[in-house]
Homo-oligomer: A and B are copies of this chain.
């Protein structure tokens, strides 16, 4: 439904002939959205269509399909805002949106930010780009979705460069205006006075707006993810360790690398083949180089024989030296990237040409996935905003959705052969929750990589704090520990050739972190299953812990740490700790730091390694030593693990033994999810749910395990129970 079906050019026309008359004619023409225009389109999800229907949208490009059944399972929600306070109008070809804010409300999300959390008081121009400091909206996933500490979410589904004023714009007719102060004499004068609204400028004559109900922030995020089809469930091998090899490694070099991993007893489930596999790269041919890879099929098979899969690097720009060039040319943009064509993937023809080529040349050979590089920017070498595309899609729209389009297209190839993939991508956007890709970049600040991991949980994307190289062993170990507690445990050695054992003095500790990740498979896989079926982000910000109130006063520009140290702490340190699944709190250490503070949410928390009590709803200071990444477990938590260390994730048919841990005193329940780990058969209910439970009463402990669908339970049925807290 278009609520504004007049042409914006009318308004422009008015302007020209009325420049000096103080008129409200333009405003008169710009009808505001009515309260009745909101449509309930899924449980707890409302839609408002503003202005003209746009041919390109983010959710459309992502191919996002709401999981209506899963949404229904969430508690019902009321529309979380006062509809009368929401404004939406189209003026002169642009869409103006406004949502109310209350005092002390905080706003999270709005893109993959690296240095900030709460976006209130900030202005973001959401623009797909290489991230280059500061957080200004230009990033790899500038998702126009935010969640509020008041427990709701808002999505602007528009494939353009949105500007979002998050509590900075102040209207003459503000509902809750700031105090008037004289800077000459008043110490309390503020450069940025209080604002009661989020305002958004969409440089297009329409947009789809969605509101997601709560009542908690997490529930709003869940609804957002489920509305996009639910989170991705990676194949089990995707949760193992992955190494990316130097650019020009040949098939022999790579096999040698795999053997070296075996010799060092280091986990390796898939290996990243960098640009050298192409007969030409930057731009790309997507054809195997005959010298470095004379027998691609044999090469992939030798890897598979050793339990290792291959992921191929690419950028989508088509080299004149390849066979795709002439075929794709009619469906490409006006501008080149490194002399390569930019295929217009909003059109079916190049999508089909790519499908044919990729299915035949890679996927039929056993290639497990891709690393999709250079779809983010940066401006100097990606197509310019003056580029045109044969479909009529603008360069700006194309920039905002290109990463989504490639993710969606390539996911479809694997779905066609009923195999899950798990790859890497440099650009994403709204609607990506179910796309099997993890975002990465070149920025390489360990601290900010962790903040990005946390922020990814607000916006339905996955992020890896990849490791490349380090100047010294402590930094190496700290980075390797972190990446093993992220969506993809990756060492990206394309440039440096670093190995996990490159720093022999910490080789054992690095291996321990990687092995722990392997052993945690049952826990992590179940965690991703909740992402898939319930929309709960597997790695997530403390702000999404339900029942934890972290509201700070930062938006007021004042911070009195003596009055409320908890709030002060929240603004400072909360950027560097996160939850992995329901029960494990990860507090990474950074090189050069011997101690750190950790915020423990309500309830008792236990040391993962020892089971000892760490604290209860407080900020603790820890001095953990070098060997291990600090992990804390919730009281009553059950953590199912593999009993034995291993270097490959289980293949279908294997039945590894379980070790089931319990922490603390409270009774615990854990639902262990399992399936074949590789196919989409789980969509036909070919999965098992196993209930694990523990009850402690005084010195007596009871526990149990009941499997729902044994056929799809790929663990041995006699777990070892370990009660970590004595």
Residues of A within 8 A of B (CB): 7-9, 11-12, 14-16, 18-27, 52-53, 55, 91-94, 96, 98, 121-123, 163, 165, 168-174, 177-184, 189, 191-193, 199-201, 203, 205, 247-248, 275-276, 278, 280-282, 289, 319-321, 329-336, 338-339, 341, 346-349, 379-381, 383-388, 390-394
In the complex, the answer to whether A381 meets B55 with C-beta atoms within 8 Å is: no
Across the interface, do B392 and A15 meet the contact criterion of CB distance under 8 Å?
Answer: yes
Which chain B residue lies CB-closest to A336?
B170
Residues of B within 8 A of A94 (CB): 394
**A275–B186 Cα gap in the complex (Å)?**
13
C-alpha spacing A53/B12, complex, angstroms:
11
* Pairwise interchain contact B334-A171, C-beta atoms closer than 8 A: yes
Q: Report the bound CA distance from A341 to B321 in whole Å.
A: 60
- Contact assessment for A172 and B386 in the assembled complex, using a CB-CB cutoff below 8 Å: no
Q: Which of B92, B390, B394 is within 8 Å of A92, CB to CB?
A: B394
Contact B183 A275 (CB under 8 A): yes
- Report B-chain residues with C-beta under 8 Å of the C-beta of A24: 390
Label chain A's interface by main secondary structure.
Answer: loop
Q: A9-B7, A92-B394, A248-B184 are in contact. Are A386 and B19 (CB under 8 A)?
A: no
- How many copies the complex holds: the figure is 2
Residues of B within 8 A of A25 (CB): 392
Measured CA separation A172–B19 after assembly (Å): 42
Q: A172: which B residues are within 8 A, CB to CB?
A: 329, 332-336, 341
Chain B residue, CB-CB nearest to A17: B55
* Cα-based distance from A91 to B387 in the complex (angstroms): 11
Are A16 and B55 CB-contacts (below 8 A) given A199-B384, A201-B386? yes
A380 and B168 contacting across the interface, CB-CB below 8 Å? yes
Partner of A335 from B170, B334, B381 at Cβ < 8 Å: B170
Specify which of B12, B14, B20, B165 is in contact with A348 (CB 8 Å cutoff): B20
Shortest beta-carbon contacts, A-B, top 10: A15-B392, A183-B282, A169-B384, A182-B280, A199-B386, A22-B390, A180-B339, A165-B384, A123-B379, A201-B385
Select from chain B the residue with minimum beta-carbon distance to A93.
Answer: B93
Chain B residues closer than 8 Å to A247, beta-carbon distance: 184
- Chain B residue contacts of A331, Cβ below 8 A: 22
Contact A178 B14, beta carbon cutoff 8 Å: no
**Is the Cβ of B9 less than 8 Å from the Cβ of A163?**
no
How far, in whole Å, are A608 and B600 apart by their CA atoms in the complex? 70
Query: Bound complex: CA of A275 vs CA of B177, how far in Å?
Result: 24
Q: Would you call A347 and B191 a contact (CB within 8 A)?
A: no
Report chain B residues within 8 Å CB of A184: 247-248, 275-276, 278, 280-282, 289
Contact between chains at A386 and B191 (CB < 8 Å): no
Give CA–CA (A30, B20) in the complex, Å: 32
Given A180-B320, A280-B184, A384-B165, residue A392 in contact with residue B23 (CB < 8 A): yes
**Contact at A18–B335, with CB atoms within 8 Å?**
no
A20 / chain B contacts, CB cutoff of 8 Å: 346-348, 391
Residues of B within 8 A of A201 (CB): 384-386
CA distance A25 to B389 in the complex (A): 11
Asked if A339 contacts B192 (CB within 8 A), the reply is no
Q: Are B339 and A193 in contact (CB under 8 A)?
A: yes
Question: In the complex, what's the smallest C-beta–C-beta distance from A344 to chain B, in angstroms?
Answer: 8
Contact B53 A16 (CB under 8 A): yes
Nearest-neighbour CB distance to chain B for A405, whole angstroms, equals 13
A19 in contact with B346 given A184-B247, A184-B281 (CB within 8 Å): yes
Q: How far is the CB of A47 from chain B (nearest CB, A)?
A: 19
A380's partner among B123, B339, B388 (CB-CB below 8 A) is B123
User: Can you offer 27 A-B residue contacts whose CB atoms are under 8 A?
Assistant: A7-B7, A15-B393, A16-B55, A18-B392, A19-B393, A20-B348, A26-B392, A27-B388, A91-B394, A98-B386, A123-B379, A168-B384, A169-B383, A170-B336, A171-B334, A172-B332, A179-B339, A180-B319, A184-B247, A184-B275, A184-B281, A189-B282, A192-B381, A193-B338, A193-B339, A199-B384, A201-B386
CA distance A52 to B12 in the complex (A): 10
* Complex contacts, A332 vs chain B, CB 8 Å: 172
Q: A93-B93, A184-B276, A275-B184 are in contact. Are A191 and B380 (CB under 8 A)?
A: yes
| Cα of A330 to Cα of B172 in the assembled complex, Å | 11
Smallest CB-CB separation from A329: which chain B residue?
B172
Name which residue of chain B comes closest to A97, CB basis.
B386
Which of A16, A27, A278, A391 is most buried by chain B, counting CB atoms within 10 A of its CB? A391
Interfacial chain B residues near A348, Cβ < 8 Å: 20
Residues of B within 8 A of A335 (CB): 169-172
Give the residues in chain B near A53, CB-CB below 8 Å: 16
A61 to B119, CA, bound (A): 35
Minimum Cβ distance to chain B for residue A166 (Å): 11
Smallest CB-CB separation from A395: which chain B residue? B201
Residue in chain B with minimal CB distance to A339: B180
Instruction: Write the chain B residue with the least CB distance to A383.
Output: B169
Does the CB pair B391–A19 fall under 8 Å? yes
Contact of A55 among B15, B27, B386 (CB under 8 A): B15
A197 nearest CB across to chain B (Å): 9
Q: In the bound complex, what is the Cα–Cα distance between A15 and B344 (angstroms)?
A: 14
Question: Who on chain B is nearest to A122 by CB?
Answer: B380
Shortest Cβ distance from A276 into B: residue: B184
Interfacial chain B residues near A180, Cβ < 8 Å? 319-321, 339
Q: Which residue of B lies closest to A282 (CB)?
A: B183
Q: A275 → chain B, closest Cβ, in Å? A: 6
Compute how far the CA of A21 lies from the CA of B289 in the bound complex, rounded to whole angstroms. 34
A193 to B348, CA, bound (A): 30
Given contacts A247-B184, A280-B182, A388-B91, contact A22 B349 (CB under 8 A): yes
Residues in B whose Cβ lies below 8 Å from that of A27: 388
Contact in complex: B281, A182 (CB < 8 Å): yes
What B residues does A7 contact at CB under 8 A? 7, 9
Q: Given A248-B184, A275-B184, answer yes or no on A386-B165 (Cβ-Cβ < 8 Å).
A: yes
Please, which residues of chain B bring their CB within 8 A of the CB of A178? Answer: 339
Instruction: Give the complex CA separation of A19 and B331 in angstroms.
Output: 12
Determine the chain B residues whose CB is within 8 A of the CB of A16 once the complex forms: 53, 55
* A608 CB, nearest partner CB in chain B, Å: 42
Please indicate the chain B residues that have their CB under 8 angstroms from the CB of A281 in the complex.
182-184
**In the complex, what residue of chain B is closest to A385 when comparing beta carbons?**
B201
